[in-house]
A and B are shown apart, each in its own frame.
Chain A
Amino acid sequence: KAGVTQTPRYLIKTRGQQVTLSCSPISGHRSVSWYQQTPGQGLQFLFEYFSETQRNKGNFPGRFSGRQFSNSRSEMNVSTLELGDSALYLCASSLKSSYNEQFFGPGTRLTVL
């Protein structure tokens, strides 16, 4: 089985721009979660989608949004980028929501200049 894939792997943007990151979960997995990883804040939960519905949301501003499609693929969008949004964005998928083992993708490294 193919693992979780994330595109693009690297991205450079400037302040004020917006960006869309994509995540394809493992085949059959219906839950997709997003995390932000930075040296200062560590790993922080952004949101989780299950069957196209947002189940849970972390403590991030409204500039961070996401969605899930019927094939379980997910995208997250960050609008009006700030320097502090520079981070590794990790996507994780699991069979279903709750207690299931999460499989992580390699991440998208976003740099905001």
Chain B
Amino acid sequence: AQSVTQLGSHVSVSEGALVLLRCNYSSSVPPYLFWYVQYPNQGLQLLLKYTSAATLVKGINGFEAEFKKSETSFHLTKPSAHMSDAAEYFCAVSEDGETSGSRLTFGEGTQLTVNP
């Protein structure tokens, strides 16, 4: 069974500081990994996805994530936080598409606060 753990339900950074949101996964097969962002009263927006093509994945809004198989991690980073980055972030995993289809298993979410 697949699972995702996000370390830290709340992360607070200063504007301009590095953003680091942690995600560890458990999967019995090579996973597909995703980071989504959710702003208040909105649905989820895809930031980036790992599909085994490259271990360092660049996404929208300056975010990137690195897939590390040895550490079963897929941490999300952004060099310089902006006030508009304040939102909730979800890491998700999808396994073998032939059996699980498009089913996503989500982590608990990390609420990012950006202080001026």
Contact = CB atoms under 8 A, between A and B. Distances in A.
Nearest to B105: A45
B108 A99 contact: no
A107 interface: yes
A94 B43 contact: no
A24 interface: no
A33 B103 contact: yes
B72 interface: no
Secondary structure at chain A's binding surface: helix, strand, loop or mixed? strand
Contacts of A4: 43
Nearest to B45: A104
Contacts of A31: 101-102
Interface residues of B, number: 26
A102 B109 contact: no
B61 to A, nearest CB: 16
B49 interface: yes
B44 interface: yes
Interface of B: 32, 34, 36, 41-46, 49, 51, 90, 92, 94, 97-98, 100-109
15 contacts: A33-B101, A35-B104, A35-B106, A42-B106, A43-B90, A55-B101, A90-B43, A90-B44, A100-B97, A100-B102, A101-B46, A102-B104, A106-B42, A106-B43, A107-B43
Interface of A: 4, 31, 33, 35, 42-45, 48, 50, 55-56, 58, 90, 92, 94, 97-107
Q: Which 5 A-B pairs have the closest CB atoms?
A: A98-B97, A104-B43, A43-B106, A104-B44, A97-B101
